[in-house]
Amino acid sequence: MAGVKRSLGSMLGHEDTLLRPNGTGRTRNVHYDHGMTPDTLDSMTPRSQSFKLSNTLQSQPHSQTHSQPNSRPDSRANSQSAGPSNTDQNDGLTRTPSPTFPSLTGQVPDFNQDASMMLVGMRGAGKSTLAVMASSAMERKVIDLEPTFQRAMGLSSAQYKAEHGSAECYKQQAKVLQGALQRHSTGCILVCSWMESRVQSLLREFASTHPVVHIVRDAEAIQNHLKFRDNAKMRNLLDVSNAIFRSCTNFEFFNVSEKATKSSLARASMERSPAPYLTLKHVERHFLKFLSIIYPAGTIPFTDSAFPLSRIPAEERNFTYATSIPLTDVLKDSVEVEEHVRGADVVQIVVHDLADHAEQGTLTSEASAKLLADITKGIGVVRRSTILPIILHLFLPHTATDEVLRVYLELVHHTVRLAPEMMTVDLRLEDVHISRILSIRKRTKIIGNCFIISDPPAWDSPMWMSWYKKASNLGCHIARLIRPATSIEDNFSINHLKTSVAALQGPKIPLIAYNSGYLGRHSQTLNRILTVVRPDSLERVNPKPPITPTITAVGATKALFSSFVYDQMKLYVFGANVSYSLSPAMHKSALKACGLPHTYEPVSCSSLRGIKHLIEDPEFGGGSVGLPFKVEIITLTHSLSNHARAIGAVNTLIPIRFLNEDGTIPTGAAFFESVNRAGPIKALYGENTDWIGIRATIRRGLSPANAVVSSTCGLVVGAGGMARATVYAMLQLGIKNIVICNRTRKNAEKMVLHFTQLLQRKDLGVLSAESEHSRFHVIESMEDPWPTDYRLPTVIVSCIPTHRIGNVPAPELALPNEWLGSRTGGVAIELGYKTLDTPFLTQFRKEAHRGWVSMDGLDMLPEQGFAQQSIECTARQFFAAYVESGEKNYPSIINRDVDENCKRYCRPLSLCDFFGVPGDCSHDNKAYEGGITNNLSKGSLKTCEVSNLTIDVDIRRAAATTKSDMVFKDGETLVMEHAWTLDFNEDGTKIVRVVEFCDQLATRKMVTKVYPDKFGKAE
């Protein structure tokens, strides 16, 4: 990328780079035409004659130009085959792809939900593993063509080829494939590694009505699988096979190899060690997410997020952000994508490599092929790393040769095969090209992109409306129009365009419009949808970036509050005893991380009367509902979500400030108009999200051997609000056999009646049709035998408290060993988290060798991030207190973040000897504060840099090193480097034990200056 001159927007992917003629082809000035006239505005689209492809390309037939952008006028494309191609992987090293079939990029059909799927690719790409994962989720049969061939012929392909020759082997392979495709056109997942030309022809025909997915993987993983030692040979094999498989498939999926994490020590240390097979859960989630995009909505169960906000597209919500990350950074192993998306709603991958190659004259066929592979991998890496939707933005330079334009179209068509949620298309393309892209997009949304960097017209110019109309009339889903700000006034004149768009008659597509650059930050902040922002961590990821987006998602959010677009709100957690709740620590950390200034406080009360004044406050922003009010609080609500009605309990209370004209609560995006807005409350809305965490935890804990099938049985201990959420989660997962164990049979039967009636009504639309065949059984005592007509459970969830409540002691729950007899083990979950070492969990930890995975309430919360966030926040505040105590001359600040009974120890022991105290001696808070008071009489810490902060969530411990400047009143500065270990309470909000490993020489000098009479001169 060296030598490329990028202006504002290269992180955005905005077209502001001028490419120079480089001898590779005729240079074209691909510009946004300023020559708009009133007559032009009446036409459908702006003039774009300046953006035609070269005469050579234009002279090709339409199908060649548009549906086959990968085809190239090289010797390989003009060669003719002399007989059938060799299907052996090694033979592919000397074979070129069949010339009859250039890359398949025609219009992708709308598949039926039951349409079979074909997975093709190199051996070692992971096709069979992915097929098994998909078959379990979609309840489909896996048909592997190689074993099918062996059953039909009595020999493997290799053996048959050795006995009968290549030509006969390939002929029989084609026959086997043709028969399999005819017999298994629905309800199956087929797997194939064959590459012969007749196989390609059959696959292309199958792709006209079915998804045919090319599975690719990094070269190192495939090379290890095939045990190849020759790197050049491996690269050649991959190039040939990729070209062949792309010629007969309509989708491509990058199977990211599992590697040891290279993230921070903090993350590495906080993660619990999962069972080895659970690492495949990331692979499964990644692949099922991909399938959910290429198949009709609802085909893949449990892939759509259950959270209300996630069901509203980002372009329909207010003030959404797209974090922009260069493809080159995505592909770095050292980069953690999830670290860059804080506060964002979408991830935008920017591909600037085409411009780099064009400028440097390196746009060869090899470079183009690598770009295809890099884009495939980039989308795979991001999709594996985050649940956020993806925008793929291909940077098209301002000036380009015919070859650059051809490769751009090739890359755009290839991107459609990868099924990103959104992608951009440059509006300077001719209408026919944009229409072609729209026709093959499947479920990918197209953003018509227009960025004018050189001599941009004012916002009141009719040219902008013309570009918007072009995007709208051609069928783009969103229009993105951006120009650099030259004055502050540009931020206000942009309203000319927004007003004109709003005045248009008929349906309108969403508009992204703002000024770029520092002068344009005001319009960026007030742009309502998908403002492109930079990640907070950009400087660490890309030390010398080009000019980038000028705001972050967190910065933009803070600006909305400081400019009074949004209001600071009061949030609470309600319950009989919520003093131990982790919700405040979790939510406070999340609010701070996202730039939200709201407060979140626990409120313990004996009845709902104790919260009435809080929920009527104009600044009430919402509340989490704890025990025992999850059912009772329904009486205060005006409406419930379908999930809350189905469960019969509420864990989230949401104030509604805007109603429809008929007095009903808004739905869709309008529902969220009340968010971050103070004012009179018109209604209260009840939601239940407990089941979401329970469902996710069960799915995470189930091994492939215990995948949910029709006979899977779940055991629920308890019959309260959390038990209801658990039953609902099991039904959502497809578990149809549920046993409830509760000491009060009446309550268990009441819960069973609730769900039985729910399944009979079928009026909420929240459970699948298969759920109506579910059945329930109530066990009143642990001494009762397991029902003979139910399989032993593989999913067990305890929903009873794990701690004393009032005068009721903590239960000592342990299940009969006979109930744990599943031959494949299962997952056992304790939903409580105040006590983590319960008899229930101890029982299942001892059964780990038999396949039982034990999980607790912490696992149900967001990936344990709440605990790590809370501990990290407390630790950093603890170290900051050393500086603050000096700045404010207030020594008691030093105990702000420690428990009242905290003990502090000094190490190494030689310092204890120097101080004249025993090695096991500790300081309490009062004694330590006294020492700080004496220190402040002589000087104070001016800085305290924290590094190497490492957190172990399981044992609530953190370790860190600090480097501080101790500045004395006589002007002397002492640099002190310490190491620390800190032990925390259960929720991570207080430190209960401190061990300080002191810099011996610096500490002795400091103590000598503070206590000269006692310790004399430092040695």
The one-character DSSP state at 760 is H
pTM over 0.95: no
Rounded Cα distance, 642 and 390, in Å: 29
Determine contact, residues 695/732, Cβ cutoff 8 Å. yes
- C-alpha gyration radius of the chain: 32
Helix (H) or strand (E) holding 558: helix 553-562
Residue with tokens 């104070």: 940
State residue 286 phi and psi, 5-degree precision. -60, -50
pLDDT at residue 768, as a whole number: 60
Stretches in the chain below the pLDDT threshold 50:
1-27, 33-101, 260-277, 539-547, 863-867, 1018-1019
- How many angstroms separate the Cα of 491 from the Cα of each of 452, 519, 526, 534, 566? 16, 8, 9, 20, 20
Q: What is the CATH number of domain 879-1015?
A: 3.10.450.50
pLDDT at residue 354, as a whole number: 86
Rounded Cα distance, 286 and 384, in Å: 5
- How many angstroms separate the Cα of 28 from the Cα of each of 392, 413, 543, 553, 983? 24, 21, 33, 37, 65
Rounded Cα distance, 983 and 415, in Å: 49
Determine contact, residues 88/161, Cβ cutoff 8 Å. yes
Cβ neighbours around 650 below 10 Å, total: 29
Helix (H) or strand (E) holding 1014: helix 1012-1015
State residue 488 phi and psi, 5-degree precision. -60, -35
Same-fold call for 78-102+111-294 versus 570-688: yes
Which CATH fold would you assign to the domain 570-688? Rossmann fold (3.40.50)
pLDDT at residue 142, as a whole number: 93
Cβ-count burial 313-328 (b if 16+ within 10 Å, e if not): bbbebebbbbbbbbbb
268-318 pLDDT per residue, tens? 333 344 444 455 667 888 898 899 888 887 777 655 555 556 678 889 889
Q: Which superfamily does 27-56+305-557 belong to?
A: Aldolase class I (3.20.20.70)
pLDDT at residue 777, as a whole number: 95
- Classified as helix, coil or strand, 183 is helix
Cβ neighbours around 123 below 10 Å, total: 14
Residue with tokens 């032990």: 983
pLDDT at residue 659, as a whole number: 92
pLDDT at residue 371, as a whole number: 92
- Classified as helix, coil or strand, 562 is helix
CATH class for the domain made up of 78-102+111-294: alpha beta
Sheet holding 939-952, edge to edge: 922-923, 898-907, 991-997, 973-984, 957-968, 939-952
Determine contact, residues 362/338, Cβ cutoff 8 Å. no
pLDDT at residue 353, as a whole number: 85
Task: Write down the H helix ranges in 361-401.
Answer: 365-385
Give residue limits of the domains in the chain.
27-56+305-557, 78-102+111-294, 570-688, 692-860, 879-1015
CATH class for the domain made up of 692-860: alpha beta
Helices then strands, counting H and E runs in the chain, come out as: 37, 33
Determine contact, residues 238/122, Cβ cutoff 8 Å. yes
Rounded Cα distance, 181 and 143, in Å: 10
Rounded Cα distance, 464 and 59, in Å: 32
Q: What angle do CA 353, 354, 355 make, to 5 degrees?
A: 90
The partner residues of 687 in beta bridges, in order of sequence, read 652
The one-character DSSP state at 951 is E
Rounded Cα distance, 275 and 824, in Å: 13
- Give me the amino acid identity at 846: K
